[in-house]
Amino acid sequence: MTDPTDQSTSKSTSADPVANGQSTPRRPKSKGRKGSHAGELNFGDAWDYAPAPESVKVEIAPSYGHFINGKFTKPGKTFATINPATEETLSMVSEGSARDVNKAVAAAREALPKWAKLKPTERAKYLFRIARRIQERAREIAILETKDGGKPIKESRDVDIPLVAHHFFYNAGWADKLEYAFPNRDPRPVGVCAQIIPWNFPLLMAAWKIAPALACGNTVVLKPAETTPLTALRLAEIFEEIDLPPGVVNIVTGAGDTGKALAEHKDIDKIAFTGSTGVGKMLAKTASKRGIKMTLELGGKSPNIIFEDASIDQAVEGIIQGIYFNQGHVCCAGSRLYVQESVVDEVIEKLTIRLKTLRLGDPMDKNTDIGAINSKEQLKTINQYLKIGDDEGASRITPSDKPLPKKGFWCNPCFFTGVQQSHTIAREEIFGPVLAVQTFRTPDEALTRANNTPYGLAAGIWTDKGSKIFNTAAKLQCGIVWCNTYNKFDPASPFGGFKESGFGREGGLQGLRPYVKL
Amino acid sequence: MEHSPVPRHLRYNDRMKSITVDRVMADQRAAAFTKRSIKTSAKESGLRLALSMVDLTTLEGKDSPEKVRSLCRKAILPDANDPTLPHVAAVCVYPELVPTAFEVLEGSGVRIASVATGFPSGQYPLDIRLSDVRNAVESGADEIDMVISRGSFLAGDRGKVFDEIASIKDACGEAHLKVILETGELETYDLVREASDLAIAAGADFIKTSTGKIAPAATMGVTLVMLEAVRDHFIKTGKHIGVKPAGGIKTSKQALHYLVMVKETVGDDWLTPDLFRFGASSLTNDILMQLARRRTGRYMAGHDFSEA
């Protein structure tokens, strides 16, 4: 596997690793392995898969109000939520005003004493009911998630919605065991929690926030993202169905202004936010003025490090999972790839082959791997970054030559080679199916460059050697390290960031901490 | 092997860096292929393709000439009610029964495969295994399914296994050589990958998972690892090597999953019986049943089809 004509690896290992740090000029990777491409694989359309659309119809009301105090309000001033794959309007959703937010917070405040004092086993029962009802309605919710957000039905069906149910189940289990989670500490609810969530995993983010809050006896006002409010509203229907006491969870839809009104509301006790670092910083200012509790789960530019002794085919699979899952709309996406120089040609060759087999198109088709970009704005952002990458001198490789659908928002999965650590595409979060590939020679160099970022959310390590996994993982400055895998989620496992990727943990025992006073 | 018939430059190099395979991720990838939804026209064409890739197999001590003749008829005309269906790729029998198969299959386009080399254990001296091969080829076998000496391989004597495969390839003459790795006995994916690379380097035309006598036989994960070996060899040399999962593939649905894996791992070139086979017996009737359902709109019973 090692290129016999490439002597650079052995030379560099004997060099001073510090001198080999981030300032090492990158040798242009122009000379390919001669004669190594004797066979060209053919991923054509022999035996093409027939369309396999998810055919179940899901009811969507023409317009929705907010869910406040256990009831849906009459739709007020509304805005459209569209299907990003077709640009069709799915429904009209209310834009939460300061008054709506007031009402929601007041309802949550009113519901708080009773809910907080409810026997913990009773709170658990509600959570179990929610979880079961989500499972029963999983297909419907998955379809709704895909229509509203553009992600492939395969992912909402197999990843998002099962995890949503799992989070409610998991936290239901904690509700009556909090004193064991925090032994000798007398855990009490924090109070009214304002929760603002993003559009990349709409219902999953709602579950991450609502489930531990309720388990710990808090009440909630949740604001879903403006482009993906439908599943949160469907969750509200489930709350109605299972007779969750009025006011325990309130859902106010709207855009940035609604979120701002909620975050600045005087009667909230805690803010939990998942989204961009820019907004997170603003919210931190707001919260700091009033000394309320806060957790932030923000952006990332997570490194995925492939050592030369890794199982390359599986590592390539990990790259795919890391950056092209959910069109790259993942805060912990492995958007910076660091490959040990001796295997970079092989990795790039295999990545290119693998990208050719990804199927981009109708998110409702069960065979679609890459769905639509969530919104026109996000597509614009991604395209800007693609241009910046080109302009700054990196080479963009887009292996698929298939045309994009005419309607909707689409971006072909691609990656950049010849990327420098100082390039914008290696430093800023793109939130799209765009990967920046860099090489390294020594483990130290990989670590230095992996940590050379304002972010610190996640990282991936690929090696066949156990000791290397532990050595590297211990020195990476980030909240999550995946070893020989990527983007694995479990409700029992805490998730959260270092540095500008935020603070506080969600999931696991640690995920309860932000929702209790001790 | 003191007097290897294999030229030195072709011998297995023990220092060849072996490629590691991470089982968790490989299995995860293999499972992803089963999530593909193959419906309507794709299902029909996929099943026809799968049928044309079947090595209709009987490998039992009690195999009779009568049973083999019946199997051969089935191979030529899988379903008398649907003459548009392709014949299967080959009939696979013990060397003793190759002459019987030859009588029925000559000129039919269905190839004759024979297990040889001391099937299924391979625990015989090389000269006996070589004469086993020559005998099968002389009786009319187009393809030889050999077993590797897992004993030597697991003991670390890779060079010996390499030389054996190379000499058997030599003994095959014109006949195609399928090398059975018996992955159920190799256990780890690392070894499956190494055995695949070794067999390919030694001259295999096909690599095959299992004898069918050891559990587990073919799995999606193992076949994926072998397809990756074949793919890497192709990229390097431009040469196509075939892959044959055998044992345990019983349903149409499974067969379609395998075809999806082939299509998305090695590409369209391999969607042909020349490069991909199913070693199976009960699979055939399940495919016929599914195809008949598409043709007639009704589900058939097992007894509507002749036994294979």
Can you give the CATH number for the domain in which A467 is found?
Answer: 3.40.309.10
CATH of the domain at A126: 3.40.605.10
Chain A positions with Cβ closer than 8 Å to B: 1-2, 36-39, 41-50, 52, 154, 158, 309-315, 317-318, 349, 357, 366-367, 464, 484-485
Same domain, A328 and A469: yes
- A:B CB pairs within 8 Å: 101
The catalytic position among A155, A297, A429, A445 is A297
Which range of residues forms the domain containing residue A216? 63-298+499-517
How do beta strands A414-417 and A395-397 pair? antiparallel
Task: Confirm whether A70 is domain-assigned.
Answer: yes
B197: pLDDT confidence band, cut at 50, 70 and 90? Answer: very high
Task: Confirm whether A13 is domain-assigned.
Answer: no
Mean of pLDDT over chain A: 93
Same domain, A232 and A305: no
Q: What is the pLDDT of residues A269-293, one digit of tens each?
A: 999 999 999 999 999 998 888 889 9
Same domain, A409 and A338: yes
Ramachandran region, residue B111 (left: φ > 0; alpha: ψ -120 to 50; beta: rest): beta
Domains and CATH numbers, chain B: 17-296 (3.20.20.70)
Indicate which of A311, A364, A469, A487 best probes the interface with B, i.e. most B CBs within 10 Å of its own CB: A311
A13: pLDDT confidence band, cut at 50, 70 and 90? Answer: very low
Q: Residues of A with CB below 8 A from B269's CB? A: 41-42
A364: pLDDT confidence band, cut at 50, 70 and 90? Answer: very high
Residue A36: per-residue pLDDT: 52
E strands along A281-355, which residues? Answer: 293-297, 303-306, 336-340
Q: Residues of B with CB below 8 A from A484's CB? A: 22, 24-25
Same domain, A284 and A431: no
Q: Reply yes or no on whether A331 is catalytic.
A: yes
The yes-or-no verdict on residue A505 having pLDDT over 70 is yes
A26: pLDDT confidence band, cut at 50, 70 and 90? Answer: very low
Same domain, A185 and A267: yes
Q: What is the pLDDT of residues A408-466, one digit of tens each?
A: 999 999 999 999 999 999 999 999 999 999 999 999 999 999 999 999 999 999 999 99
Same domain, A250 and A311: no
Task: Confirm whether A337 is domain-assigned.
Answer: yes
Same domain, A270 and A305: no
Residue A291: per-residue pLDDT: 86
Cβ-defined contact of A50 to B231 (cutoff 8 Å): no
Task: Confirm whether A36 is domain-assigned.
Answer: no
Task: Confirm whether A448 is domain-assigned.
Answer: yes
The rounded distance, in Å, linking the Cα atoms of B128 and A242 is 74
Same domain, A305 and A409: yes
The rounded distance, in Å, linking the Cα atoms of A299 and B77 is 62
B6: pLDDT confidence band, cut at 50, 70 and 90? Answer: low
Is residue B229 within 8 A of residue B196, CB to CB? The reply is yes
Q: Which residues of A374-406 are buried (b: 16+ CB within 10 A; e: fewer)?
A: bbeebbebbeebbeebeebebeeeebbeeeeee
Residue A16: per-residue pLDDT: 39
Same domain, A212 and A77: yes
Same domain, A310 and A452: yes
Same domain, A266 and A386: no
Number of folded domains that form chain A: 2
Q: What is the pLDDT of residues A290-306, one digit of tens each?
A: 889 999 999 999 999 99
> What are the start-end ranges of the H helices in A156-290?
161-174, 178-181, 202-215, 230-241, 256-263, 277-290
Same domain, A313 and A406: yes
The yes-or-no verdict on residue A224 having pLDDT over 70 is yes
A32: pLDDT confidence band, cut at 50, 70 and 90? Answer: very low
